[in-house]
Structure 1
Amino acid sequence: MSEQRIVVVGAGLAGAHVVQGLRAEGFTGPITMLGQEPELPYDRTKLSKEYLQGRLDRAGILLHDESWYAENGVGLRLGVVAASIDRVARTLRLADGEELAYDRLVLATGADSRRIPFPGADLPGVMTLRDLRESDALKELFAGGGHLGVIGAGWIGLEVAAAARQAGMTVTVVAPNEQPLDNILGPRIGAYFADLHVRNGIDLRMGVGAKGILERDGCAGGIVTDHGDIATDAVLVAVGAVPRVALAQQAGLEVHNGVLTDERMVTADPAILAVGDIANAYNTLLGERLRREHWDNALRQGALAARTILGLDGAYDWQPYFYTDQFDLGMEYVGNNLATDEPVVRGALESGEFIVFWQRDGVVTAAMNVNIWDVNDTLRTIVGQAVPAERLTDPAVDLSALAAG
């Protein structure tokens, strides 16, 4: 298998873990890894957390230093764009016309920030957060102070709002839903996040729809909403992400909310795999397709793709996991609940240290630990079990005992 030529398109977490996994499993053949950004591969998830908050510098978010790629025989090429795939010839054409031959091609192209096509969206001062350059721009903004408007109350919007507020900025968040994150966590836990941000000085305006960007001196000067105008010094648009599937579409691969893959990350073309944010992969544990834009998924899918290429065992058989840091809240989540699932709280929300279980028909569909550490692995074993709510909430029942139902 070592004579295979492996090309990985994308130098983020998922792509890097394909490469790392191949070498860890003993693959000695040629590997080329292509990155569109000029930066060494880095941990994108830290851009809205530790890096934006100033707790990590650039070196601290790198996945490997530059010497690692040379020492491991990885042909890392940065600042290059993949333009098209010839599946018959098994070649990848770059934007400059160069062609790279492959035996197995891995697409790890990630996602772009979702844009809102409303008036003023292209004004200077309208910001998004998806790459290192954009995180640096936000850090520069924070240093100057002023008023930041945030459109969207999802994970990125809330994390940036918290970082901006902690840096001393005035922050206003607008979103059309009833509570932050209620489409994921439901209204009760969403309300907890709302209270967290309000207590820390965020002007949180839920049930407010953004209609455009105010212009002031040729730049973004605020947000036009269906409840009136809000004057700000800059605006962050954080309304989700769109998978980068243009290359897969050009190649004629199956695309629907991402690139469709089987449980081993293989697309409709057995020579091409897809991992990370773009992969809409079949999860054997849950019996359905999932596309998740999370740190844990990128790591695990990258490693799984490496094993698939080498003919080793493995499948997409784990529960989704993510984490967040906002103000004094640190949280880990594992599972795949619906917003309509019933939340059951172990501990007291007002204490700031608690665990939430979501249930559907008596079965635990997800769990979240807030400021309680070293329990997430145990929570993972409870997800999927039928456990009475009174046992979930009883502090006298050890968490490890709940996995038995």
Structure 2
Amino acid sequence: MDDIVVIGAGQAGASLVAKLRKEGFSGKITLIGEEPALPYERPPLSKAYLMGKVGKERLYLRPESFYRENDIEALTGLHVDTIDRGGQLVIAGDREIPYDKLALTTGSVPRRLPAAIGGDLPGVHTVRSLADVDAMAPAFRDGARALVVGGGYIGLEAAAVARQSGMQVTLVEMADRILQRVASPETSDYFRKLHERHGVDIREATGLHRLTGEDRVTGAVLTGDEEVPVDVVIVGVGIAPAVALAEACELAIENGIKADAQGRTTDDRIWAAGDCASFPYKGKRVRLESVQNAIDQAECVAQNMLGAGKDYRPYPWFWSDQYDVKLQIAGLTAGYDRIVTRGEGDQVAFWYYKGDEFLGVDAMNDARSYMVAKRMLEMGKTPDPEAVANPETELKTLMRG
């Protein structure tokens, strides 16, 4: 019976080992995580957990008893130094853990500000782990001055929580508009207005030259040499796939650990899933950063490690909560050339098209648009744009067309 080792104890790793047992695998399973905690949910960290609405115990994906009862050895707080592919060994300090099959679910790492501009000053935080959020939580107090660097969803969510905590918030984005890399101008406009209504000072086309302070950060110098005082800096400039371990053992890297449609890397005994893995999709190589992908891809890889031979087909969806707005996204919308708007005000959805192909939707407080669009993507159907835009159209009828 094979020994299976999984490196990376996040959402993908936890999903993979659980699926192995559910599929009837009875061999040895070892799950290795570098953080001291068992696998936990990340999305609530920067929202409910940071605001004190959810305790740490509610973040865990599974209780400790689950791993014990399913005979899964969960090794937490263990740093893997290298993978000996020839000897089929995972080496962590003085431990050598043998494997017959290995899965890499190493996730991603936050991009940080360079030390040369003050990125290593105390009071400068990223938002990725329990430790990150525990470290920044004391700074979230009424009247404190926060600088958020980055106008993507990570930065916008941080800005919303900071404002709800009574902080003065300035957000800087180097691009011409917030969300420029991931959303349409219409979606950018919606969230710019939302944050401005809540008192966030949004600076687009504005760079950060340097942070100032000695014992901790006290200010920031922006484009045009404008200086602003700050008490805390939250860095939301994206994440990068955690590929150092794979790269060191000479697996192919291409926008993440290069995997085939079934999750197999360039070593037939090693697989990859989640944020760290890229895979072929619609003639391109993509890497998806979402909870849904981490779960679905990891479960598919688990089945393939047991011989299923099944290609992974993603149906991407994402979400973001900011103030009283719930954004739900379905599909991958890069390359769109037309936006169709349905609804208005706080409840609106932007439907993305490329020629005659429907690509996806951004739905703000509009669960019906999201659910119908998601279902149509799964069915491979393109709804008539004029029908979508017509408020008299009952959306469910589009699925029968």
Report the TM-score range of the alignment, normalised by the length of the smaller protein. Answer: over 0.9
- Could you tell me which residue of structure 1 aligns to residue 105 of structure 2? 108
Letter matched to residue 357 of structure 1? W
- Could you tell me which residue of structure 2 aligns to residue 225 of structure 1? 222
Equivalent positions of 1:83-232 (< 5 A) are 83-94=81-92, 96-117=93-114, 118-143=116-141, 145-215=143-213, 217-227=214-224, 228-232=226-230
Letter matched to residue 250 of structure 1? A
Once the two structures are superposed, what CA deviation does each residue of 1:87-131 show, in whole Å capped at 9, x if it has no partner?
12111111x121111011010111111123242111111111110
How many angstroms apart in 2 are the aligned matches of 1:102 and 1:144? Answer: 51
For structure 2, list consecutive stretches of 5 or more residues without a partner in the other structure: none
Letter matched to residue 336 of structure 1? L
Alignment partner of 1:315: what SS?
Answer: coil
For structure 1, list consecutive stretches of 5 or more residues without a partner in the other structure: none
- Could you tell me which residue of structure 2 aligns to residue 372 of structure 1? 366
TM-score by length of 2: 0.95
CA contact (8 A) 2:336 2:359 kept: no
TM-aligned CA deviation for residue 55 of structure 1:
2.6
Letter matched to residue 349 of structure 2? I
Once the two structures are superposed, what CA deviation does each residue of 1:11-43 show, in whole Å capped at 9, x if it has no partner?
000000001111111111110000101012101
Once the two structures are superposed, what CA deviation does each residue of 1:335-379 show, in whole Å capped at 9, x if it has no partner?
11126532211111x2x1122211111321111222123553421
TM-score by length of 1: 0.94
- Could you tell me which residue of structure 1 aligns to residue 395 of structure 2? 399
Count, aligned residues: 397
Cα-Cα RMSD = 1.6
Alignment partner of 1:296: what SS?
Answer: helix
Equivalent positions of 1:303-342 (< 5 A) are 303-312=299-308, 314-338=310-334, 341-342=337-338
Letter matched to residue 95 of structure 2? E
How many angstroms apart in 2 are the aligned matches of 1:254 and 1:382? Answer: 35
TM-aligned CA deviation for residue 183 of structure 1:
1.6
How many angstroms apart in 2 are the aligned matches of 1:339 and 1:52? Answer: 35
- Could you tell me which residue of structure 2 aligns to residue 18 of structure 1? 16
- Could you tell me which residue of structure 2 aligns to residue 248 of structure 1? 246
CA contact (8 A) 1:185 1:339 kept: no
Alignment partner of 2:57: what SS?
Answer: helix
TM-aligned CA deviation for residue 86 of structure 1:
1.4
TM-aligned CA deviation for residue 65 of structure 1:
0.9
Equivalent positions of 1:47-66 (< 5 A) are 47-66=45-64
The 1:51/1:339 distance shift into structure 2, 3 A limit, reads: farther
The 1:364/1:340 distance shift into structure 2, 3 A limit, reads: closer
TM-aligned CA deviation for residue 188 of structure 1:
2.0
How many angstroms apart in 2 are the aligned matches of 1:300 and 1:29? Answer: 22
TM-aligned CA deviation for residue 401 of structure 1:
2.7
